[in-house]
A and B are shown apart, each in its own frame.
Chain A
Amino acid sequence: MRVCKHISLLVLLLLGAGHSFAQVSKLEKALELYREKQLDSARVYIDSAAVNAQTRNEYNVWMVRGFVYKDLYRSKESAKPISAYRHVAVESFKQALALDTFAKGSQREGIVQSLKFLASTYHNDINKTLDTVNYQVSLDNAANYAKLTKFLTPDFNDKAYHYDVYLTVGSMFEKEYERSSTKFTLDLAKAYLFKAHDIDSSSFLVNKDLGLLYYNQAVEIIRKMDVDVSLEELPVYQDRSVKLAKQALPYLLKAHNMNNQDKVVIEGLMGVYYLLNEMELYNQFKKKSEELRDK
């Protein structure tokens, strides 16, 4: 096993490092236990070395701690979307790299590979909690993935990654709003779609989703209106609905300009113009919709 081979070499390094016998023993003991796969015991020794004044600034201590915690994560918490072991492993490896200021650490490649592995687990865990109840865990894992990948690969496009995440979460809440019509889901849909829009305002998908969100909200006001509403109050409902339809329009038009063959955008524009009583424009988009349907 490659990591064990690297760590065997580490023992030789440790012997020449000139530490006090007791502290080196803790690191050596942790290594010994690690190689015997007694990870819980290894953790106790390596945690002790990590806080000791004589060894806490040692690259080797943090590297070993990273490997111990990485294996604890793999053996005990790899199925969990939230793992303290994984977090400690990442922070320990990063600390090891920070202390290895001349990039001479013999385990550097192993640490980087381990961090890449841990980053991939953050990313893969996003789907485990991507729902309307536990989505915050997905966002945390996405943020951890992006942060770690940026650390490892500085030219990583974290904005594009966050755009995808925000659009996915915003679309999820938009879909839920269509079903539940609650203010809570509406607010979250808007919040995340606008986060995506802030990153890429020229995105077809985010313009489409924001347009449809406003449009659906406009429809919802009329749909929910009680037919017993007085004729004095009816214009108030119409005002609110028209205002939202007007907010939907620029997003849907922008999306349509980017892709004039998208049926949902065309039907959304039909709906907006219908709400706005712009029947000439409604008929234009209705015709386009029918033409696309006939293709």
Chain B
Amino acid sequence: MRRIVFLFIISFLTLSTDLVEYAYFQKDDTQAKIKATFLYGFTKYFDWNSGDGDFVITIVGDAPGLIAELNRISSTKKVGAQKISIQNHPNIKDVDKTNIVFITPDKSAQLNDAVAKFKGKGILIITEKQGLAKVGATINFVVDDNKQKFELNKSAASKAGLTIGSSLEKLALNVYN
């Protein structure tokens, strides 16, 4: 066991304010880790059109914590035999080859463009704003009971050229047809 040394302040009744600084809180981006784990987990529930090159996950919008977590995952994990590549663009029009697109809440207005652009191409569109699973996103992150959960839209998946297995349906908070 490591030996760390403390000083008991030589005062009978009060501690020095130095002790206040002993308390420290961790600044890890927990929600980014959870979302990244979900995103990587989703890759195991779909049949992908595994072409040449990397398996691409694209983030549309500003999400540095999530991108950092995904980059960490991509350094050690694969999807099937494919390496994982993480891309980040401000606009959906800039996205070219990708397997998953995650649209950040502030870029939610680009969902319609994404649906139109990737129709039938087997690309999973994921959003994070209340109600978007009903209007085109295949998966939408929502918060329920203080936890990160997700909703599914089966018809959106079908239009995107994806098939949702029953095992993923069971995990979703809501499933829309």
Contact = CB atoms under 8 A, between A and B. Distances in A.
A271 to B, nearest CB: 5
A78 B166 CA distance: 74
A220 B30 CA distance: 9
B24 A222 contact: no
Q: How large is the interface on A (under 10, 10 to 19, 20 to 34, 35 or more residues)?
A: 35 or more
Interface string A195-238: 00000000001001100100110111011010111111011001
Interface in B1-46: 1-15, 19-28, 30-31, 33-34, 36-38, 40-42, 44-45
A138 B9 CA distance: 13
A165 B8 contact: yes
Contacts of B10: 123-124, 127
Interface residues of B, number: 48
A172 interface: yes
B1 A164 contact: no
B8 A171 contact: no
Contacts, number: 157
B31 A175 contact: no
B7 A164 contact: no
B38 A234 contact: yes
A277 interface: yes
Contacts of B22: 171-172, 174-175, 209
A212 B27 contact: no
- A138, A231, A267 pick with most chain B CB within 10 angstroms: A231
What's the dominant secondary structure at chain A's contact region? helix
Given A164-B13, A234-B34, A171 B147 contact: no
B170 to A, nearest CB: 9
Given A168-B15, A235-B147, A209 B23 contact: yes
Given A165-B8, A209-B23, 6 more contacts: A164-B14, A220-B26, A225-B33, A231-B38, A235-B147, A238-B147
23 contacts: A127-B7, A130-B6, A132-B4, A157-B12, A164-B14, A167-B15, A172-B6, A174-B22, A175-B22, A175-B24, A179-B2, A179-B4, A205-B19, A209-B23, A219-B28, A220-B26, A225-B33, A227-B77, A229-B41, A234-B37, A241-B30, A242-B145, A274-B30
Interface of B: 1-15, 19-28, 30-31, 33-34, 36-38, 40-42, 44-45, 72-73, 77, 143, 145-149, 168, 171
